[in-house]
Structures are given as structure tokens and as C-alpha cells.
């Protein structure tokens, strides 16, 4: 298995992976839309024997604290073809994605995800650190990873993903 940056010719394969991994094609459609509206991103694929079997995407998010705002990065979505799940591909995508974000100079990454999965990669619950997403009902699922020592110091507030993510609720 290899992990590499997504290429233009991977788009339909990525769409298939996302559509197969989630209950609907909403996440696949989201990634298709984000490609057109988000310039700065980390998009990686996992390839096995020349076939794309996994994908991970990191896009800008905004941290708002009153009038103050700061850019950070959000992980979403991450998917692996169902027949290849539970073989470490998703874990390898997360590690490679965090490394790519750190290399770009990103200092913190947020994710709304499974409480059993993300902490093993350095993600910590975000609510005790003063971060929230949409409403506090998401607190058990919001995590943050500090990629640069001290990046979270003195910060707190609400995390806003790109507005395209809001369309997921309506799909």
C-alpha cells in the first residue's frame, strides 16, 4: 500500500471510495464541491495494487472567539473502501495527513469523529480545552491535535468548517 497526494485523475475513484464507505453519497458529493471552492488543502489517497482504496481530506477551518478569528485545519472526511477497512489503511492515512499538515506549517487540526479512533493519533477532546463545534451536543465527538507545541495555549472558541459542510445536514 502507498499513500500519495490525490491527483486529478483520482477524482472518480475517490468519489467511489467515499460513496461506498458512507451510508449515502453526501460525503463524496461534499469532496467534489470542496475541490472547486477550497484552494488550500491536503488531499491524500491510499493505493493498493494501483487501485485507490482510501482517501483523507484536510481543509481550512476558522476558530472564532468573539471578534477574534484564526485559521486552523479540519480533517474531514476520511474513508476506506469497506472491504479494506480494519487493515490499518485509515490509520496510515491519518498519520500521513497529519505529517503533511505539519510540513505545511499547520499548527492544529480539528476533527469531528469517533471517540475510540482519533485519540490514538494525538487527538484530544476539544471541549475541555474550550473548543466547540455548532453546538455543545458535538462535544463528545470534537477533537483537536496540536501539531506545534503551544499552538492551543490561550485559545478557545467555536470551530467553523467551510460552509459546504453545512449542506451535509440537508442531504
Amino acid 23: pLDDT: 95
Which structural domains are found in the chain, ordered by start? 2-170 (3.40.630.30)
* Range 77-101 average pLDDT: 97
pLDDT at 65: 85
Which set of grid coordinates corresponds to residue 146?
Answer: 496540536
For residue 69 the three cell numbers come to: 478569528
- Dihedral of alpha carbons 167, 69, 38, 2, sign: negative
pLDDT at 156: 92
Closest CA to 162 of 136, 133, 135: 133
Q: What is the mean pLDDT of the chain?
A: 93
CA distance 71 to 162: 11
User: 44-64 pLDDT, tens per residue?
Assistant: 999 999 999 999 999 999 999
Q: Find the mean pLDDT for residues 126-150.
A: 94
* Average pLDDT for 86-106: 97
pLDDT of residue 170: 53
Amino acid at each position: 500500500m502507498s499513500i500519495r497526494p490525490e491527483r486529478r485523475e483520482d477524482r472518480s475513484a475517490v468519489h467511489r471510495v467515499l460513496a461506498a464507505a458512507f451510508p449515502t453519497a453526501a460525503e463524496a458529493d461534499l469532496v467534489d464541491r470542496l475541490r472547486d471552492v477550497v484552494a488550500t488543502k491536503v488531499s491524500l489517497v491510499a493505493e493498493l495494487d494501483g487501485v485507490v482504496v482510501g482517501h483523507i481530506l484536510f481543509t481550512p477551518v476558522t476558530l472564532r472567539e468573539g471578534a477574534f478569528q484564526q485559521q486552523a485545519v479540519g480533517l474531514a472526511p476520511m474513508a476506506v473502501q469497506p472491504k479494506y477497512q480494519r487493515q490499518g489503511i485509515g490509520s496510515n492515512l491519518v498519520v500521513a495527513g497529519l505529517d503533511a499538515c505539519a510540513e505545511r506549517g499547520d499548527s492544529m487540526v480539528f476533527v469531528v469523529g469517533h471517540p475510540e479512533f482519533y485519540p490514538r493519533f494525538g487527538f484530544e477532546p476539544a471541549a475541555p480545552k474550550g473548543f466547540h463545534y455548532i453546538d455543545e451536543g458535538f462535544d463528545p465527538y470534537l477533537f483537536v491535535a496540536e501539531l506545534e507545541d503551544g499552538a492551543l495555549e490561550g485559545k478557545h472558541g467555536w470551530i467553523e468548517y467551510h460552509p459546504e459542510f453545512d449542506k451535509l445536514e440537508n442531504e
